Every structure is written in C-alpha cells, then in structure tokens.
Structure 1
Amino acid sequence: MANTDSFIDEVSEEVRRDRLYALMRRWGWIPILVVIAIVGGAAYIEWQSAQQRAQAEAFGDALLQALDGDDTEARIAALEAVEVPSAEAGIILALLTAGEAANGEDRADAATRLRAAADAPGVARRYVDLALLKAEMLDPAPEAEARATLEALAAPGAPYSALAEEQLALMEVRAGDLDAGLDRLRAIERSAAATAGLQQRAGQLIVALESGAILVDAPAEEAPVEEAPADEALTEEAPAVEASAEENAEGATVPVEDGAADASTEGAAEEN
C-alpha cells in the first residue's frame, strides 16, 4: 500500500511538472517582455530627460550670450536669432525680446511681439496671460478690445486676475467712471489673490483718488515724487501715485507710471 501511494505521488508530481513546463513554454515570454518593457521604458525616459535638460541648458546659454550685447538693437537681433526648443521657450524669448524693445522706447513693437507670442499654440495659460497683460500695460489696444482682454484676464482663478483688475480700475478712472474704479480697487484690497504690494498700491490709489487727484501718464524714463499739498491725503510711500505741489486738491494730478506694476507682474509669475 505504501509503495502504491509513493508511486501515485511521483506520477502526480511528474504530471504537475510537465504542466508547469508547458505553461512556461507557452506563456513564459510574457514576463520576459514585461521586464524588457520596464527596463526599456526607464532608459527611454532617462534619455528624454537628458535631451530636454541639454536643450534647456543650450537655450539658457544662448539667451545669456544674446543679452550680453552692447546696445538694445544688438540684443534684440541676437535674441531673434536664438533657436527655440519649445512653445514655452518661445514665449519666454518673446518676453525678453519685448522687454528689450520697451527699454529701447519701442513699446508698440514690444506689445506686438507679446501678442504674437500669446497666440502661439501649446503655450501654458500662465505665460499667455502674462504676455497679454504686459502687452496691455506697454501699449494698450483700443478701449473696447483692451477691456475685453483684461476682463478675460481678470476671470476668477486666472493667474494674474488681481493685476488685470488693477488695470481695469485705472482704465475706468481714466474714462471718468471714478466710482467703478474705486470699487475695483477696494475689491483688490480685500482679494486673497492680490499680493501685499498690490493691496498696498490699491489702498494708496484709493486715498489719492478720493482726495480729488487726477490720473495722468507719467514719463516712462523717470517718475519723480514731489511733495503734495498738506490738504491732500496722499501718502509719501505710494510708488505709483504722484501729486504735483503746483496744483490744488481739486486739480491735483496722479501720474501712474506704465511700468509700475511690472515688478508685481514678475513676482506673480514666480509665485505661479
């Protein structure tokens, strides 16, 4: 009886072994293929990352070399010759080129470059919004078009909604709708999306406008800060608000430098 059981066990073990070998011969290539795919995929991802890193380094080196030019026109020409590896790199290049054009007093050309870069396909929204916002600040489009653009940029959840609201407030004040402009500025003061600097600037503009000051465009090359008359509630710290001591409270002017919000725009870009 014991010999019979041992014989049956040996036969059963042999049958199971044969079945296992048959399965291995039939399906054994699948786990091998999976291992090869995992190793190959990891190698490809690493190679792709190395390629992208090399392209980014080459792009950055080309930008630094282009910005070492002696004058504005030379830097613009060198930037235009830089090869763009991706859509996002293209809009970064456009922002730098537009900045050089603006420094060269060609603000219209700078705005045109920014709007063209914003229309490029495959660009992240934060870069598109930044380009459009800076374009409106450098060289505003006709009022209706500018308002439509800024209202789209000021939509809830947009990357630079608070800065777009500030530009809309200034537009409304210039158009003579002081109440609407003040309402927007007060909303900026309470907005969680606004930076501390933007909230402070909005508060200073509110104080200036409620005191009877008038917005005027300050020269782009300089923005002197003169002491305001004692009866005007203007704070000395306001970077974007200036009052002329030669005019009274009713006729006081408040120059708002076009580039006053550039620093906030760049800060917001870093935060996003």
Structure 2
Amino acid sequence: MSNPDSFIEEVTEEVRRDRLFGWMKRYGWIAVLAVLLIVGGATWREWREARAQAEARALGDAILAALEAPTAAERADTLSALPVEGEADALVTLLAAGETGEGVRRDESVEALRAVANDAALPLHYTQLAALKMVMLQGREADPQARLQTLAPLAEPGRPYRAPALEQMALAEIDAGNAETALGHLRMIVDGAGASAGLRQRASQLIVALGGAPAGG
C-alpha cells in the first residue's frame, strides 16, 4: 500500500475517533442514564417483591395468631381488627364470619360479608363465597325470597359453590312452603358432580324427610 493511501486511512480513522468522542461527549449521558434506569428498575422490582413477600408472611402470622385465640368471639374480633384491604380483607372477612356466633357480632359479619359479595373488583370465588356465607349466617331470619335471589347466581352450572348453594336454596324453598321445588334442588345435588359425600348424604336424608324417593330408589 502506498504512503498516500496509508495517510488517508490514518486521517479517516482519526476523523472517526474524533466523531466517536464527540458523540460520547454529547450523548453519552443518555447511555449512562439508560444503564442506571435498568439497574434501578431491577433493584426496585426486587425490593417491591421482597416487601410483598414480607407483608404476606406478616399477614399469615397475624391470621394464625388470631385463630389461636381461646374463644370464637376473640378470634372474630382479632381477625376483624387486622389492617388489610382488597383480597386480603375479603379473606379475613370470610375467616371472621366462620367464627361468628349469635348477637351483634353476627350482624356485623353479615354486613361485612355483604360488602365483599358486592365488591366487583374482587375475584368471583371471593364474592360468591361471601354471598353464600351471608345467607347461611342469616338463616331463617332472612326472607326466603331474598335468600333465593342471592343464591340463584351461585347455583348456576359451573359455579364454584353450586352444590352448597343448591342446598341453601332447598332450605329456602322449604321455608317458603315449596317442597317440590326443594326436592328438585336436592336431587340436583345427589345426581350432579362437585358435591362432597357429606353434602350428598344430607341432601338424600332431606329428600326422604320431604317424602321423596331415596337416592337410587
């Protein structure tokens, strides 16, 4: 290669180097900022996940501690006092309702369950379980037609609590004086899928008590 060609290449390389240095001086901060954002974002994500895990563990410990209280009233009071929101609040409300007895605490639990059942932001399995527990907690003190209206969406095919909802519908129909309709609900429990052995047995016994043919008979 001739000296002129070598000189041209050296000049060209020097121009490229000067341009690169100039670009780095002018725009290099953007690359540095991008790196910082990536590293910072990953750190923030890890910190947020660690905090969520710590909060979940703390909530689990608090729930377990509440459930170790000696009486149902104390367990319900402690659970209801936990500072939670969203799905955690729904879970705690359902647990507290399971510890509810007669009197004022029951009325408070019914209202808390109603709020969960009507919260469209919660997953279906929370809202429908809250509605089912609310009806069970109210029992015969609630109007049969109101109970049936609440239970009807829960008893649709494919719903997670269809079988226990059908049982509660049968009880509401009995209270309303509709024995034949109640028998229909009970037979759906016995003949359908998804019901526990205990629920099937209760349904079969109630069918006999209402004068219907026993399951398989």
Quote the residue 2:214 is aligned against. Answer: 233
With the length of structure 2 as denominator, give the TM-score of the two structures. Answer: 0.74
1:25-40 → structure 2 map (5 Å cutoff): 25-40=25-40
SS at the partner of 2:99? helix
2:91 is aligned with what amino acid?
I
Q: Verify: 1:213 aligned to 2:213, yes or no.
A: no
Identity of aligned residues (%): 41
Unaligned 5+ segments in structure 1 are: 216-231, 236-272
CA contact (8 A) 2:94 2:130 kept: yes
- Aligned to 1:70, the other structure's residue is in SS state coil
Q: Write the letter of the residue equivalent to 1:98.
A: A
Q: What amino acid is aligned across from residue 205 of structure 1 in structure 2? A: A
The answer for the alignment partner of 1:246 in structure 2 is: none
Query: In the TM superposition, what is the alpha-carbon distance from 1:97 to its structure 2 partner?
Result: 1.6
Alignment partner of 1:101: what SS? coil
Task: Give the distance between the partners of 1:37 and 1:12, measured in 2 at CA.
Answer: 35
Higher normalized contact order (CA 8 Å, seq sep 6+, divided by chain length): 1
Cα contact 1:169–1:185 (8 A) shared by 2 = no
Q: Kindly indicate whether the alpha-carbon contact (under 8 Å) linking 1:101 and 1:109 is maintained by their aligned counterparts in 2.
A: no
TM superposition shift of 1:126: 1.9
- Distance across 1 between alignment mates of 2:162 and 2:26: 61
Q: Which residue identity does 2:24 align to in structure 1?
A: M
Question: Match of 1:130?
Answer: 129
Q: What does the per-residue CA deviation read over 1:120-156, in whole Å, with 9 as the maximum and x for residues that have no partner? A: 5753332122111111122144233322322233456
What SS does the aligned partner of 1:195 have? coil
Aligned length: 213
Cα deviation code 1:37-71 (max 9, x no counterpart): 12111211221222222222222222222223232
Over the residues paired in the alignment, what is the CA RMSD in angstroms? 3.7
- Asked if 2 retains the 8 angstrom alpha-carbon contact of 1:154 and 1:161, the reply is yes
Between structures 1 and 2, the one with greater helix share: 2
CA positional deviation for 1:164? 3.0
What's the TM-score, normalizing by structure 1? 0.62
C-alpha distance in structure 2 between counterparts of 1:208 and 1:125, whole Å: 29
Q: How far apart in 1 are the matches of 2:182 and 2:95?
A: 34
